[in-house]
Structure 1
């Protein structure tokens, strides 16, 4: 069996990114290892994720080309989908934590959804799939 273990997200600063993903989105810091060359291996995972689930590798940009991609990794499209079992609870918690939602919640045939931006402007769906 195969699965996607990590998705790289280019960031400007490890600690600032960790703070956003853990404090504002409620992710857990799964790993933060100094690599000895000024870089770190930083992985965050959504709440409730377990072994075998996909995490985010927060990779600090190393040069101008990578810095130019921060926040624009998907060309302005929603590129990340955060599923929840309780949309109203998580939407309220994220609003209170200062997360910027780009729209009011919508209730679609596939579930409850609202688009938000992360610290860098990457677009995410907060989504509670329909049962």
Structure 2
């Protein structure tokens, strides 16, 4: 059996605002933006150059979903953005206005810093330690 994780749905307030954040601040690519009717869209963003996993930006529909914007995991780190050059990406993201909630840390598994997306969801920017 051949399976892979394709998309993770991220509840957002506004499609265009979310697209702008992910493509400008995080340097992601807009992979797809298809109108579905009734104001809904199928919007996928991915880290630049990636063909695999991506985020489905899902505009909140109704009060229950709006209440979850920015708090999809109760304040825990939700997503992990792995990089091959932590210093480069940390500096670029900081210059783009990304809010890091603490200084970079050196852990046994790599260099990491927690940041928040435009909605307040927490992410790790991480450069993993290569293990043999």
Q: Report if TM-score (shorter chain) is over 0.5.
A: yes
Q: Does 1:26 align with 2:27?
A: yes
The DSSP-based 3-state class of the residue aligned with 1:9 is: strand
Superposition deviation, residue 124 in structure 1: 0.1
The DSSP-based 3-state class of the residue aligned with 2:97 is: coil
The DSSP-based 3-state class of the residue aligned with 2:27 is: coil
The DSSP-based 3-state class of the residue aligned with 2:37 is: coil
1:106-125 superposed matches below 5 A: 106-125=105-124
Report how many aligned residue pairs link the two structures. 129
In structure 1, list runs of 5 or more residues that go unmatched: none
Aligned counterpart, 2:73: 74
Runs of 4+ with deviation above 6 angstroms: none
Aligned counterpart, 1:36: 37
**TM-score, normalising length: structure 2:** 0.96
For 1:40 and 1:13, how far apart are their aligned partners in 2? 11
Superposition deviation, residue 37 in structure 1: 1.9
1:35-114 superposed matches below 5 A: 35-50=36-51, 53-114=52-113
Deviation readout 1:19-47 (Å, 9 max, x if unpaired): 00000000000000001221000000012
> RMSD between aligned alpha carbons?
0.6
For 2:125 and 2:57, how far apart are their aligned partners in 1? 20
Superposition deviation, residue 48 in structure 1: 2.9
For 1:121 and 1:36, how far apart are their aligned partners in 2? 28
For 2:107 and 2:13, how far apart are their aligned partners in 1? 35
